[in-house]
Amino acid sequence: MTRRRFVSLLGAGMLVATACGGGATTASPTPAASTAASASVETMTQPTRPIEFVISTAVGGGSDIYARAMQAIIEEQKLSPQPVQPVNKEGGSGAVAFTYVFEKKGDMHYIMITLNSFFTTIVTQPALPYKATDFTPVANLALDPFFLWVNEDSPWKTAGDVIKAAQGKELVVAGTGSKQEDEVMFLRIADLAKTKPFRYVPQSGGGAVATALAGHQGGVEVTVNNPSEGLGLYQQKKLRPLCAFTPASPTTGVYSGLATCKSQGLAIDDYYIMRAVMAPPGLTPAQQAFWVDVFKKVFESAKWKTFMDTNALVPDFRSGIDFRTFINNYQKLHQDIATKNKWV
């Protein structure tokens, strides 16, 4: 091959590379382009270009798995006239993603999957220029319950045993991230059962929390993992759920018949992780309705039902005023917790 031909070949290769890099990762529009488009964006009721499905955790995290499952259903059933592309904007316990979506005011080509960090992070980071209630709510698709977990070799059989032990000494516990939902749970337990303060070791994610408990890493003795996070190690008989922080025992799946924590003297049954979808602030009612409709169909699909069963999620579809009330309640709950613990 002559040098000249090769150089041109390389040039072509670079062009392809450029095209792939751009196409595969959805270049966000330049500020100029988005301003120019905004006039029409406000009046449209259907997306006219590919949609970014923003995920506030890294690839492989809980939210990521849920978002990709939803996206697969949207694509499969052709629920959107334009492709939906998951984009991970992890970091800052969600703050990076929230800010990114907040800045897309009034643009229906952005949606975001959220969990409780949507409240905990926004409440505890006063520098962020927005509140959870500023965003356009789309829908909640499921609630992820908390279980109380110990290692299989633990002598504790009920929540009562754990409380008794925790009243005697500082227990080492693990959870996802600092000032996040798992820590909220442990603070509530400590408060309710008058235990000694827990030594809370923040981990990088739900999987890591389960592993830490299974391996007694750093002496971890108790966690409040979600059912999906502990499932693998439970089936391998490394972990044992003691009870569920739910009003009633699960009736389906592998956790069927697990006692409620309330029945074992630990009366918390109102706290869940929401698996919800939000949109940028300022969408018109028609644009909001478009997305509500899409996710209603996702919720009703057989695939999502199976997915919820596998991961022991509680089916819980909320939109409109119902969802707004839910958001207001959770916002207030987390604000109170943060104030009480002097996080703000």
Partner 1 sequence: MDILNGFTSTLGSLAGGFGTALHPINLLLLTIGCFLGLVIGVLPGLGGTSGVAILLPITVFIANTGPGGSTSAVIFLCGIYWGALFGGVITSILFNIPGEPWSVVLLFDGFPLAKKLGKPALALSSSFFASFIGAFIATVLFTFFARALADVALAFGPAELFAVFIMSFATLIGLGSESPAKSVMMIGFGLLLAAVGFDTLTGAPRLTFGRIEILSGIGFVPVTIGLFGMGEILASAEEQGIGFVERLSAKVGLKDILETLRELRKRIWTVVITAVIGFWFGVLPGHGATAGSFLGYGLARQYSKNKANFGKGEITGIMAPQAAADASAVGSLVPMVALGVPGSPTSAVIMAGLFIWGLQPGPLLFIDHPDFVWGLTASIYLGHLITFTMCLLAVPLLAKIMHIPYAIITPFIVIISIIGSYSLNNSMFDVFITITFGFVGYWLRKMKYPLAPLVVAIVLGDSTERELRKALIASGGSPLIFVGSPLAATLMILAIILLLLPVIRNVRERRARPVSVDPAA
Q: Looking at residues 100 to 129 of the shown chain, list those that interact with partner 1 (rule: CB under 8 A).
A: 121, 124-125, 127-128
**Rule CB under 8 A: is residue 220 a binding residue for partner 1?**
yes
Q: Which stretch binds partner 1 (CB under 8 A): 157-165, 231-239, 258-266, 279-287?
A: 231-239
> Letter for the amino acid at 250?
P
- Answer yes or no whether residue 24 interacts with partner 1 by CB under 8 A: yes
Window 276-335: residues binding partner 1 (CB under 8 A) = 306-307, 310-311
Could you give the string, one character per residue 243-282, with x where binding to partner 1 holds by CB under 8 A and - elsewhere?
----------------------------------------
Q: Site for partner 1 (CB under 8 A): which residue of 141, 231, 273, 308?
A: 231
Strand pairing partners for 239?
151
Contacts with partner 1 in 127-146 (CB under 8 A)? 127-128
Which of 146, 153, 148, 147 has its CA nearest to residue 216? 153
DSSP character string of 75-131: HHTT-SSS-EEEEE---GGGHHHHHHHHTTTT-TTEEEEE-THHHHHHHH-TTSS--
Considering only residues 36 to 65 of the shown chain, the ones binding partner 1 according to CB under 8 A are: 58-61, 64-65
List all residues 6 or more positions away from 120 whose beta carbon is below 8 Å from its beta carbon.
93, 179, 180, 181, 184, 334, 338
For 317, list phi and psi in degrees, rounded to 5: -90, 125
Orientation of helix 206-214 relative to helix 227-235, angle to 10°: 40
Q: Which listed residue (48, 152, 191, 218) binds partner 1 by CB under 8 A?
A: 218
Q: Are 280 and 54 in contact (CB under 8 A)?
A: no
The residue range among 38-46, 88-96, 256-264, 277-285 that interacts with partner 1, by the rule CB under 8 A, is 88-96
Residues numbered 157-216 forming contacts with partner 1, rule: CB under 8 A:
170, 172, 177-180, 199-204, 207-208, 210-212, 214-216
